[in-house]
Structure 1
Amino acid sequence: MHYENVLATIGNTPLIRMNRIAQEIPAKVFAKVESYNPGQSAKDRIALFMIEEAERAGKLKPGGTIVEATSGNTGFSIAMVSSIKGYRCILTLTSKASPEKISLLKSMGAQVVICPVDVEPADPRSYYSAAERIAHETPNSFYLAQNFNLDNAEAHYRTTGPEIWKQTRGKITHFVCCAGTGGTLSGTARYLKEKNPDVKIIGVDAYGSVLKKFWETHEYDPNEIKPYKVEGLGKNIIPHNMNFELVDDFVKVTDKDSAFQTRDLAKYEGLMVGYSSGSAMQAVFEIADELSKDDVVVVLFSDHGSRYLGKIFNDEWMVEQGWLECEPAEAAAGMGSTPPVKHFEHYAPAEATGSAAYFYSYEAMRDRYIKYYRTYRLKYKKYIRLTRQTLGL
């Protein structure tokens, strides 16, 4: 079997069960791992679909220029599709984008324009405004506008949703997905809700984003906007692709929890996935006390971890954020959901050998510590919820 080009390999990504990391969660938890796409992210799906829809509509002509404002992953996918189809590609990013992402975009032939991150969307310096201006000033160009282009969500309605339904044999009960442009969440959710209205859709948002507050109040609150580290979720605008009526619950997660969960996915599941994947996994823990052994949870991991080697997988960066309490050299052995507990190895009896030596090893003791920590956290959350129900709060 062969493919005409790399675009034919987009989609049909695997569904992988989470085992060690999810052992304290009563439900079956599966990850839809989008890093198996050729561009290593879910954005391959929308880049190809939006560009081909623009071609069919006559909005994009041969030899033209594609312009987009992106957090990085969509940009790489657009650059990949552009290189194969022969388009010029200009991308605007915020200064929050990792150096790895910027290098990847340039390696695919894209022209990259970096814009400040802490400005209002309407500010001429914002990456939205810059993209609009560049598209207006560039002849024979087309601004994809993933936040407002409804083909974004349509791509996931036609591909991601049907794949998940087929892979779970229709048994999915919960879909957990980060919300950014809203395309992945809304498109997939629309298909799943059509197949079974009882499927629970859980959106994941960042502290510093406006999405969860808008879902709760139907009002845009600029006071919610604050800087945050995690990439690939959250917005300071309300994207047209975000269908809030499809969402049953929204969960906010912290930068720190997201980072440690991402590192855990590599350590315990062998999955080198991106920062927002840790956010999505953290959200599963946040709703764990609502799940039962009969539930089937699908959590979407949107991209690959290689794009974050200079950040969350870099111990020096983690120490700079104040998230690791030890020196970088000591941190290497302590990747996990909580800052590493140092010097456990000193407690091993001198005569311990074989399995006994392992029992007292740093690795084994630390793994037990994390297991007990997670178990306590889940039981504590359940206790608080039941207490509030009893008191009628």
Structure 2
Amino acid sequence: MTIYESVLDAIGETPLLRLRRLGTGLRPAIYAKLEFQNIGGSVKDRAALSMIRAAERDGLLAPGGTVVEGTSGNTGIGLSLVAAHLGYRAVVFAPASTAAEKIRLLRAYGAEVHLVGDFVPRSHADHLANRAAAFAANTPGAWLAQQYDNPANPAAHYESTGPEIWRDTAGGVTHLVASVGTGGTISGTARFLKAASRGTVQVVAADPDHSTYGGGDGAAKYVEGAGHALHPDTTEDIWPQAFDTALVDRYFRVSDRDSILTARRAAREEGLLIGGTSGTALAAALRLAEELDESHTVVVIIPDSGRNYLSTYFDDGWLTSTGFAEPSDASETVRSLLPAPAAGDQIPGVHLLAADSSVRHASDELHRRGVPADEVVFLALDRGATFGTVHPREAVAAVTQRSLQAALERDPRSAGEPAALHGIPFTPVGAGTPIADLPTPTGGSAGLSLDGELLAVLVDGRIVAAVAAVPAFPSATPGQAENALQVETAGQVDDTSANGASWAGEPSSVRA
């Protein structure tokens, strides 16, 4: 039995697990590096310990000091547990959208948590990094971890993660797959493996579809911790210094939907409860494996556990509300309200206006477009689109020409005010939401969300605007039966879902 003298000794030396069921039909060996078996539950424990030790050596963090960081959760958890053991105060700034489980873990370790806006320009004072930096600058004895630019972040993986993979595969690893957040994990691990293999190990970065790392537009996403979002008002796209892009051979872009459903698939097929970022990496690894043969060995880094996301990715109600899942019978759901594909051009498209539009500008623009007085329009972050889809987190409000005119009639001075101040009640709902559960505030509306994007507008239970082609939700096939949440016995259906829903669209494979 291994005996540790402290929790710090229990960081690292995580196992590799052969993915036999997920790898069925694939020729290479696929191993998952289970980083959630670090003592704090994620790969970030390694970087947290490395950064704190480096700060101590450099005289930046003295006894009784304060550890400060802006993080979506896991780095904060790692820093908080190390700080707790070493007697430091921990202060963490986290996005308001961070999973509730992570926030509770931070507080459980004694961290002081400040929730900030989810998606603001990098230069804005309320940006996560700027709030953390300002706090550290004004707090005596505080040290800002700066995980995105701290060289001790990738160094942790050069010194531990890489050597462990090389040793445990007896030098047989041919491909490394990892997601990219700060870039520290993939950079440090890749640097060691490329050196050890004399450049033969290939490195694949698994990236959320909208992330700018892999060529996306930087729009908001649902998968926490991975990728690089870019607010449209950001003047300079600054990438982390911890991320050495020269070490990446290929990028695989993975949608939120594939990330989430791959994570759920891992739980049901391998008994492996993993998070959304892990689902991103695993989806990329499975796609990569289709190209390879028996001579290859793929190692995919699994950053954290699904225990941090039981209220989101593994909750059927959350999947329904965000449009990532729909019941097999859609007859009484919002989906049934959508027009047939052939009739898609019979209703107007979804109008978008820039989020910072003034009342006068928005009113004039809607008048110029000939938008009817009661037609709902989304005020969204400006990515240059006039019609189409928008991420719910980028839709700041909904307005109508009538609501804007009412504001002007009440007070002509409101012309220069933000149009968002004079919006109408607006609630995103998933396509699988029962019609009976639609919000019905007076004069309000709902935005139909499918796979995390707003695709249509509903008013009083009617679709009044939609994109030209709303994608059909995939139905189950015989080959997917073992993964369905619905179990059929003797002509009856035994719903085994914890939330009382059975889904037709959860595939046995998302490798396509």
Same fold (TM over 0.5): yes
Closer/same/farther in 2, CA of residues 344 and 180 from structure 1, 3 Å limit: closer
Q: For residue 191 of structure 1, what is the aligned residue in structure 2?
A: 192
- Stretches of structure 2 that go unaligned for 5 or more consecutive residues are 230-237, 330-431, 433-473, 478-483, 497-502
- Point out which structure has higher relative CO (alpha carbons under 8 A, 6+ apart): 1
Shift of 1:349: 8.1
For 2:173 and 2:325, the matched residues in 1 are separated by 36
Matched, 1:260 2:261: yes
Q: For residue 76 of structure 1, what is the aligned residue in structure 2?
A: 77
Quick check: which one's helix share is greater? 1
**What letter matches 2:249 in structure 1?**
D
Closer/same/farther in 2, CA of residues 290 and 327 from structure 1, 3 Å limit: closer
Closer/same/farther in 2, CA of residues 169 and 116 from structure 1, 3 Å limit: same
- Give the secondary structure class of the aligned counterpart of 2:314: coil
Contact 1:325 1:340 survives alignment (8 Å): no
Shift of 1:286: 2.6
Deviations 1:35-92 (A, max 9, x none): 1110010111111111011101111000000100111000001000000111011111
Matched, 1:227 2:228: no
- Give the secondary structure class of the aligned counterpart of 2:25: coil
- Larger C-alpha radius of gyration, 1 or 2? 2
Matches within 5 A, 1:101-250: 101-196=102-197, 197-213=199-215, 224-236=217-229, 237-250=238-251
Q: How many percent of aligned residue pairs carry the same amino acid?
A: 38
Shift of 1:339: 6.4
Q: For residue 219 of structure 1, what is the aligned residue in structure 2?
A: none
For 1:345 and 1:320, the matched residues in 2 are separated by 23
Shift of 1:280: 0.6
Contact 2:177 2:206 survives alignment (8 Å): yes
Closer/same/farther in 2, CA of residues 343 and 315 from structure 1, 3 Å limit: closer
**What letter matches 2:226 in structure 1?**
L
Contact 2:84 2:110 survives alignment (8 Å): yes
Q: For residue 315 of structure 2, what is the aligned residue in structure 1?
A: 314
- Give the secondary structure class of the aligned counterpart of 2:290: helix
Aligned positions, number: 347
**What letter matches 1:60 in structure 2?**
L
Contact 1:71 1:97 survives alignment (8 Å): yes
**What letter matches 1:207 in structure 2?**
D
Deviations 1:76-121 (A, max 9, x none): 0100000011101111111221011111101110011111111112
Deviations 1:285-343 (A, max 9, x none): 33233211211000000011110000011010011121221189xx9xxxxxx765689
TM-score (norm 2): 0.64
Closer/same/farther in 2, CA of residues 343 and 19 from structure 1, 3 Å limit: closer
- Stretches of structure 1 that go unaligned for 5 or more consecutive residues are 214-222, 332-337, 351-360, 379-393
- Give the secondary structure class of the aligned counterpart of 1:212: coil
Q: For residue 390 of structure 1, what is the aligned residue in structure 2?
A: none
Contact 1:207 1:226 survives alignment (8 Å): no
Contact 1:54 1:60 survives alignment (8 Å): yes
Matches within 5 A, 1:298-313: 298-313=299-314
Q: For residue 402 of structure 2, what is the aligned residue in structure 1?
A: none
Matches within 5 A, 1:265-284: 265-284=266-285
Closer/same/farther in 2, CA of residues 345 and 149 from structure 1, 3 Å limit: closer
Q: Which deviates further from its counterpart, 17-26 or 303-312?
A: 17-26
Quick check: which one's strand share is greater? 2
For 1:203 and 1:37, the matched residues in 2 are separated by 22
For 2:73 and 2:201, the matched residues in 1 are separated by 31
**What letter matches 2:95 in structure 1?**
T
- Give the secondary structure class of the aligned counterpart of 1:201: strand
Closer/same/farther in 2, CA of residues 100 and 293 from structure 1, 3 Å limit: same
Contact 2:190 2:203 survives alignment (8 Å): yes
Q: For residue 45 of structure 1, what is the aligned residue in structure 2?
A: 46
TM-score (norm 1): 0.83
**What letter matches 1:228 in structure 2?**
K
Shift of 1:24: 2.5
Q: CA RMSD in A?
A: 2.7
Contact 2:289 2:298 survives alignment (8 Å): no
